[in-house]
Amino acid sequence: MTLRSDRPTSALGRGLASLIPQRAASPSMIVDVPLVRVAPNPFQPRHRMDEAALEELAASIREHGVLQPVLVTETLDGYRLIAGERRVRAARLAGLERIPAVVRQLADEDQLEVALVENVQRSDLDPIDEALAYRQLISEFGLTQERVAERVGKARATVANTLRLLDLHPDVQATIADGRLTEGHGRALGGLEPGGQAHVLSTVLGQDLSVRQTEELVRRLREPREPRTPAPRPRLDPDLERVEEALRQRLGTKVSLSRSRKGGRIVIEYYSDEELARLYERLIGGTA
C-alpha cells in the first residue's frame, strides 16, 4: 500500500541546493573521500533500510560506480555523513575504498533538515520515520509545526497528521512503517484508544479492509451503547460487559449479550452481505 497522499511543493521543488548554505570563498567541488573516514549521520531520519534493495544498489555500484556524490561535513578526524547513507553502505558492500562527496559545513539542525528533505524527495522514508524526524526538529531544535512545514515544503496540516501517527499503538505504527497499512488506516484507527487499536488491527489486516471500511468499523465501535433500562434489556454484570466489549473488538461489529434464567443470547449485527461473509469466515474458519 502506498502512503504518499501529499506531495512536496515549494521547498522540495527547489532541490537540496536551496537548503545548503554555500561557501562564498570557493565553488562546489566533488572530492573522493576514504570511506573509513566517513562517520554516520547522528541525525539520520531513516531507521529502517531494505537489505535486498541495498544489495541491488551495491551490485549496480560494482558495475557502474557511485553516480551521485554523497554530502558530508568535515570533522576533526575525518568526515560526517549528511546525506547519502544508502550509497555509503552499498559502496562498502561493493568493496569500494573511496566515495565521491560534496563537502559542506552545516549546523546540526541543517544536517537533520537536509537528510530529511533528501529522503522525502526520494520517497525513501516511511511515514513513521518521517514523523520521528519532524518531532526531532520540534523537540531538539525548537521549530514549530508551521516552521517545519515551511522547511520541508508541505502543508502544516500534513505535518500535523504525520506527527499524530506517533500516538498510535506500537503495533499499528509497525504495520504502517513496513507498508502493510497506509497513513489513512492509521488516522482511522487513531479514533480508538491504543488498546482498542491493537484489537482491531488483526481484523483490518486479516480482512484487508480499505481505509473507508476501517473508518466505518471504527465509527461503529465508537457508537454509544443503547441506554440500558430494566426492560427489555437488564443491566449486565461487569464480567458480561467485559465479554461483550471483547466480542465487539474481536468481531469488529456490534455485539449484544442478554441473560435469561437458563442461559442467554448473543446477538451479532451485520450491515451487508460482505460483512456477513467476513463474520462467517471469522467464526467458522472458512467461506460460506
Catalytic sites, residue numbers: 85
- Tell me the Ramachandran region of residue 15: left when phi exceeds 0, alpha when psi lies from -120 to 50, beta otherwise: left
Count, in order, helices (H) and strands (E) of the chain: 13, 7
User: Is residue 125 a contact partner of residue 119, using CB atoms and an 8 Å limit?
Assistant: yes
User: Quick check: 103 and 31 in contact, CB under 8 A?
Assistant: yes
β 30-34/255-260 pair status = unpaired
Give the DSSP per-residue string, 81-97.
EEE-HHHHHHHHHTT-S
Cell triple for 178:
513496513
d(CA 194, CA 169): 5
Between CA 165 and CA 139 the distance in angstroms is 16
Rounded distance between C-alpha atoms, residue 281 and residue 104, angstroms: 59
